[in-house]
Amino acid sequence: MTTASIRSLKPNVSQSEALRKFSSMGLGTLYRRLRIGPLRRVADVYVPFYLYRVSYNLGRILQTRFFAIDAVEGSLDLFEFPGVPDPSQLADVETRNYLRPALTEKRAEELLGDKVLRVIFQQGFFKLRDSNLVCSREPIDLYLPYWLAFYGDETPRCRVLDAVRRRIEGAKASAFFEEWLAA
């Protein structure tokens, strides 16, 4: 892997905070240690996202929201932003730990539409007049930071911490990163 300069949203979790989160004592930590081994290492990784402005009618009101979908395979959780991120929220990062975009914009829009409809339905789909979403991509190259914790000896397993939302991700995100590491 080569080092590249990427534009990333600034993380809300430092490396030391991530290490504390991954190594906090509890039944889950004990179970994980017995099942897959001790914590070996923590590393940052950056995932490319496409940012879209999404408009739709909810009731009689036109709604406009900003959603970001991962540009690798579209399987990670959507991010919602109040608007296009301000330059003060971004940082230039020199790293080798980044994924490359692999998702076409057309496929990203299809996946985004499905995911946004699910978000809208969770908030009260009875108000949705029609499902005519208007999605337009914002011209910004955006990477989002994650922390990976590596466990085990023979076949490394990882847990994922979303460094923006400060939350541990589930099995889907772990599988996403383990697949990337194996490639």
User: What does the pLDDT read at residue 27?
Assistant: 72
User: What does the pLDDT read at residue 26?
Assistant: 73
pTM for the structure as a whole: 0.88
Lowest-pLDDT choice from 9-23, 42-56, 130-144: 130-144
For 93, the token pair is 């990062």
Domain definitions of the chain by residue range = 4-182
Residue 180 pLDDT > 60, yes or no? yes
Q: What's the number of CA atoms in the CB half-sphere (13 Å) around residue 8?
A: 22
161, 81 in Cβ contact below 8 A?
Answer: no
pLDDT 10s digits, 77-113? 999 999 999 999 999 999 999 999 999 999 999 999 9
pLDDT band per the 50, 70, 90 thresholds, residue 131: low
Find residue 7's DSSP bridge partners: 92
Q: What percent of the chain has pLDDT over 90?
A: 62
pLDDT 10s digits, 34-80? 777 778 899 999 999 999 999 987 777 788 999 999 999 999 999 99
DSSP helix/strand/coil, 102: coil
Q: What's the number of CA atoms in the CB half-sphere (13 Å) around residue 106?
A: 0
User: What does the pLDDT read at residue 132?
Assistant: 78
pLDDT band per the 50, 70, 90 thresholds, residue 119: confident
Mean pLDDT of 133-160: 89
